[in-house]
Every structure is written in structure tokens, then in C-alpha cells.
Structure 1
């Protein structure tokens, strides 16, 4: 029906208006597709076709308490004054109904799917758009690389405040331009070298899959100056395939930092998208993560890079060694 409406509106050179409650993630509804399309436009991954998206959503930390609801609900309902606050409050306080339904229906919040690691409430509360990464900052980095279909991402995590920044993200474009696309490896290599020349890199953990030769070269060039070394055969390579236990424990440490709000980010939309795409995967060692399915176009590689950067910071604080900067000066006796 949506496609028919769009076709008829195009023929008449007219517009149409779609109004709905917050969609339920995972149903692949038209409302969910519209939100995804809008976020692609905002990220710059899709052409701006004059798509207007207006959504009044309650703050992620809004508690489902009578005092809070009486303040927030009139702001969310706008001019829909026929929605009685006290009646809706009774529904919200009804313990037979799930809190996620109340948030979606009455606060217009996009809540997470059942197997999602995070919802917007857990991720967006960590946003601090005043944070910036300055040359000379001490950082650790995480890297997860692909070749064609999967994304490739380089993440920095500042040592002082555990704030995450995307240093580079390379993704296959949508549509015809994505045919036969490959990750521009020279650009990725340059981004790594630029990071080492711009910031004080204390640790760098990179998943070795498909990038073994590059990681070996990075390790040879910069490994000696790192304060913390990866557990693999060189200073940077961290093979996520080699130990399910190590990867799971590293992921649980990242989850704890997110839920305890010890980690922050600058609001990068691509990182947000990848984090919200991550799905819970339980194994014998705890909670790991993955895509919603093997062939899903919803990528999680930036989240994987964040996990590796977080693990480098964890190791730095636990067993890192102070590295004396080289001055380039020599002394002769």
C-alpha cells in the first residue's frame, strides 16, 4: 500500500503524510524503513530527497513514575489534548503491560528488540557533543576490517575520559555505486599512520582477519612505542577468532562500561547505528555479540572496533607500562 501511495503521489506531483506511533524494531515495518531512510540522509549515506521526519521523543532517562509522566507526557502529546494524562498513567503503571510498550506508545521512544544489546535509551544517554579529540591526546585504538561487504572501522578511545571517536569508517555504498566496491586499503593505511602522527597512541588492538599483512607492518613500525601490547604474536594483532572466551569477556567489560555510563561518545551517528545493530549472542562464557543474521546488511563492525579499543584501555590500566618518548637526541661520552 505504501508503494502504491508513493507512486500515485509522484504521478500527481503531490505529497503525502505518514503518522504513526513509534515503530517496533525488528518488524521491518514501513515506519521502521522510513526512520532508517531518514538516518541514512542525516549520515550522508543517501541523497536528500526532501524527506521531512519529525519525531517528538521523551528523553531516554525519563522514569516511568507518576511525577515524571505528569510533566513529560503533555510535552510529548503536543496538541493531542484528548489524550488524558491520568488515564495513560494508569496504563503505564499497570504491571501486566511491559514498560517497553509504555515507552513506545506514550513516550514515543524507539525501544530495543528483545535480543538487542542496547536501545536508544542506553546509547544516547552517553552522548556528549561538546567532546572533541585534540592533537596530542593520549588514546588507544581499535580496528575491525573487512574487504568488500563488511565495513572497516578505526576507533579511538581517549585515555583520560573514555570518550569514543570514529577516526575512519569505510562502508559499501547503497545502490549501483556499491557494485564491485572494495575497502580502499590505502586510505585505511593512511588513517592509521595519521593517527600515530597526531595523537599519543598508548595501545592499538586490531582484528587480524583479512588484514594480516597491514597489521604486521603497523606492529613493526609502531609496536615498540606502545605502552600495552596485544596478546597475539605481535604488538597490535588481536585475533577475535582465536578465543571465544577472551572475546566474550572483553565484550562483557565493554557492556559494563556502557551500562554504568563510564563510556561516552561524541554522538557519531554511524557508531550509534552499529552499536544499536549489535545483537546478543550467549555462549558458555557469557554474552557476546553479532549481526542479526549472517547476511544482514545491518553492520556492527564499528561496535567491534570499539570493543577492541576498550579492551586496549582496560589492559593499559591493568598492566600498561609507561613509555618514554623518543627525543631524537643522542649523547656521546
Structure 2
């Protein structure tokens, strides 16, 4: 921390606190300023112990309660919009009770809720660990949460975890897994004026695209929640020049699979669908089962009062699941607005999320 560290008022309205967090540019790789501000605010709370690792901060109570809950959220955002006059940028702006700015939904509203709870809950009914981390929006190897697992595994222990990703104030259990593949076709280069002398690798990729087009994604019920899968080509690369028959084409594929499968199961499924082609897995992250049968999770769902839903995208609940900690997503804002040029959240949604968690924990 430096003399120029931004001061956050944790006693302010939680929506105004969200605006203050948005005003701190924290695109992935540039989380230092917001981490300084969060650390300074937490160290001002005598009922918490605080540790910082890089640009990740952990704060926790030590009240000797029979249960411990982990509340987690990431500090970084995707890059700012490049479209002129976009409202989902930095600094924030208000339109009545609607707050615009990069990170409004993903996920500075959730971070503001964490900070407000940290300040207000001096003697919660459960011990609470607050986790704020960097580098969520980039490759998994850089994840601040992953670094905390490696360096301070014990600090992440808990009976139940809540990731404050945007869910419109509804509990979303678990998450789909995700994997990426490259499928390569090879041909023979030739002058396009004498195409019969070559073999067109791009044309050979048509069969890959046809199988993906005709594939019917499954809906898989896991622990009572219906997870919709998706399997799609997301990029295609091939060709060297406008007068050369291409001798190589790579189709990149993304598979979002239900949490009843492991990444190896997902790979086997893709290989079977694309039998006869060269398939290479380039990335994979396991999903997470809902874990809603855990007593703490069931108690939280009952306190929120809304029917839980599945999380179709991948989130860091999967990291907690790998640690053996049941985890759900619950936060303010519409996930469909995340990363958009008009990213925004309603102030009432942030306040409602804070109220729900405060009632449950107090």
C-alpha cells in the first residue's frame, strides 16, 4: 500500500461502494490499486485477520463457530470497451438507480457486498472467510485463487462457499465444465489454377462442421438441476495465400459439459463424435456438482427463498468443489450483461443481495 491508496468507505450505501470500486480501473493484470484499497479497508476492521498474497487478499473471523462459510469474488475485469461513448466503462455513471461501468455486474457489485458484510458482521452466526483475488478473467494458470490454493490452502477451508458472481439474486448451483480442442485436417498444396494437383484441407473440414452442426446438445440432470450442454466450432484457421490450395486447416472447438462428466469423459465424447479426425485437447476445466444437499447450502437456499438454478458457464465454484467444499454462485446483476459495452446493475439488486446474506449470516 502507498500514500496514494484509494480510501473505500465500507459504511456507505453498498451501491455507492460498488461505484467507487468500478472507478478503480482493474483490468486483469492491473489489479494493484484495487487490491491496495481493499486491503487497507479490511485492515481497518479489528475483528478480522488479514493476509495478502500478490493482489489477492484473505480476511477471516476467528469466533470458534461450528461452521465456516467462504465468500469469494474476483477484483479484475475484462478490458474496457473500445466503442466510443460506451457506458460500460470507467469511471462509472448513474442513470437513476441504474449503475453503469466495467465490472458493474462482473463482479464489483458482488465484491462490494463482501466488503459491506465484512464491515457490518462483527459476530456472525458462522465464521466467515472473505476472499478477494486477481486474474480471474484470463488463463487459469494466472488465477489468484489458484495461487491462494497453492500458497495458503488452509485459509480456504470451509463447510460451504459462495461465489458472488452475478445470478440475478438467485442461487445457481455448481457449474458446467469447459474444454477446448483443435481438430486438424491436412491436404496437399498446389496452385489454385491447377487445383486437381492438390488436396484442399479447408474442404476436408466441412465434414467436421457438418457433424457439429447436426449434433444435438444434451440436457443432463445432476442432483436435481438441469445442465444444458453446448458443443461448437469457435474458430477456423487455414490457407496461406489467395492462389494456393490449402494443405492444413485447424478447427477450434469449445465443449461446455455437464458436471456429471470429467474432462477426460468430455474428451472421449468429442473424439467419438469426430472419429476419423485428428483431435487434440488444448485446455480443460472440470465443472462442479451443485452440492445443494449439504446442510449449510440447503439452509442458504431456504433463506434466499427462490428456486435454485444451474450455472451454465464455468466459474470458480469448480475450484472449491475440487477442494471438497460445496459451493454455489449468488450475486447481484444479470450475467448476460457481463463483458458488454453497456454493463450495468440496478442499485436495488446489490442491496437485496447484501440483505439476503446479512440475514442468513447474522
Shorter-chain TM range is under 0.3
TM-score (norm: length of structure 2): 0.22
Pick the structure with more helix per residue: 1
Pick the structure with more strand per residue: 2
TM-score (norm: length of structure 1): 0.24
- Quick one: higher RCO (CA 8 Å, sep 6+), 1 or 2? 2
